[in-house]
Structure 1
Amino acid sequence: MPQPSRNTISFRATCLRALLYILFVTALMQGVDYEARDLSETHFTEIGFTEFTQTLLLALGVALLLYVRQVLKALPSVTLLMLAFLLASLIREQDAHLDTHVFDGAWQVLVTLVVLPSLLLVIRRRREFLAEFEHYADSFSFGLFASGFLVTYVFSRLFGRSELWIAILAENYARTFKDIVEEVTELLGYSLILIAIIELVMLVRRWQARP
């Protein structure tokens, strides 16, 4: 059996991080519970706990990716694509504010300005991107990021379909319930993505600590 390297995560460290992530997700769900019970004035609105926390998680993810890219100088092509993806999601979460205070459709314009140049640059540097991706794909961070993507952008959309909830609730159907289910599922997905980026920071630091 191969011996672990000095950069391998210990079982004790893994358990500690798992505990912290469990507490983090638990705190998020306690916030959702508090919003449902006590925040009637901002009950799952654009300025409510759930929507605000989604924005906060995305903003933290963007900041950490900038740290990896600009400070740690690691995976520049991979982190550029991840940055474009998270920044586009962050802009999308502000659609109501942008439509109201800037102009209708402002978020689509901003997302296009973020995504298109990033995609073109990654395509131009595709060899570097593929080489970096091979290193990143075989990691816990990538698995979490992929899980967060699937939860947020696939599962929540399918789980939040009006047709599904009309079939389940029949005459008791209310769009508010469907929207809450979708938003809370998105919150879970964003939390997984943030955890993945935290793991990416620690992964890069382990790489750089190698003799």
Structure 2
Amino acid sequence: MPSETISFRATCLRALLYILLIAALAQGIYLEVLYLPDARLSEHGFTEYAESTLLAASVALLAYVRFGLRQLPTVSLLMMAFLGASLVREQDALLDTYVFDDAWQILVSLIVLPSLYVVIRRRAAFLAEFERYANSFSFGLFAAGFLVTYVYSRLYGRSEMWVAIMGDGYVRDIKDAAEETTELLGFTLILFAVIELTLLAKRRLAAQK
């Protein structure tokens, strides 16, 4: 019977691939700042597009876990709704321009509320799934990505902190760079978590056969 554990060789290979992706993103930020001064760290810059791409990939993989592999259906649904809402939130400027102001709030509500209803209705199944998921490598990565993106980057990117650090030499671009790149790292960790969840779901599916 296939095992749910991860071999040392597979762990090393995935670690290498994750390191390469982080290095590529860091290099992309550097090239953005170097060669795209008018777009850097803006809604049309590499960093913002990379964040949206990471979120879109995470949502797609979670949809595969839930609808394709049919594993952890309520946990994957909640995660998919949360990251889908984050993806919509990242497009707020685009939606404000081409739809109407604050359109993202309505779209987020349409994603989150039905998903929460399903999870609450199936709360017993959700708790059972969560107990299994909470002991996985994927959950540790997801928790780290969540804390980096939604807690640390918000606190780290506060204007008053950077004013205190730089004093009269305060430059908003530096503050924005610190916040956006930290957020990008958090989204990257979340993608890694979702990749690990997908692989875990495939191993569990194989173990059930």
1:140 aligns with 2:140: no
For residues 3 and 122 of structure 2, what CA distance do their matches in structure 1 show?
Answer: 32
Shift of 1:85: 0.3
Query: Which letter does structure 1 place at the counterpart of 2:21?
Result: F
Identity of aligned residues (%): 63
Look up the SS of the partner of 1:138 in the other structure.
coil
Please list the CA deviations of residues 20-76 of structure 1 after superposition, one character each: whole Å capped at 9, or x if unmatched: 111110110000011111112311110100000000000000100000001001111
Higher relative contact order (CA 8 A, sep 6+): 2
1:77 equivalent to 2:77? Answer no
Q: Which residue of 1 aligns with 2:109?
A: 112
Alignment of 1:56-67 (within 5 A): 56-67=53-64
Alignment partner, residue 203 of structure 1: 200
- The normalised TM-score by structure 1 is 0.95
Letter in 1 for 2:155: L
1:35 corresponds to 2:32: yes
Query: Which of residues 168, 171, 179 is equivalent to 2:168?
Result: 171
Q: RMSD over aligned Cα, in angstroms?
A: 1.1
Matched residue, 2:151: 154
**Consecutive unaligned residues in structure 2, runs of 5 or more:** none
Give the corresponding residue for 2:49: 52
Question: What TM-score, normalized by structure 2, do the two folds share?
Answer: 0.96
Give aligned pairs, total.
Answer: 207
**SS of corresponding position for 1:115:** helix
Counterpart check, 1:9 vs 2:6: yes
d(CA) in 2 for partners of 1:51 and 1:68? 26
Q: CA shift at 1:191, angstroms?
A: 0.3
CA deviation after TM superposition for structure 1 residue 142, in Å: 0.5
Match of 1:46, SS state, is coil
Q: Which residue of 2 aligns with 1:127?
A: 124
Q: Deviations over 1:128-174 (max 9, x none)?
A: 10011111110000000010000000000000001100000001112
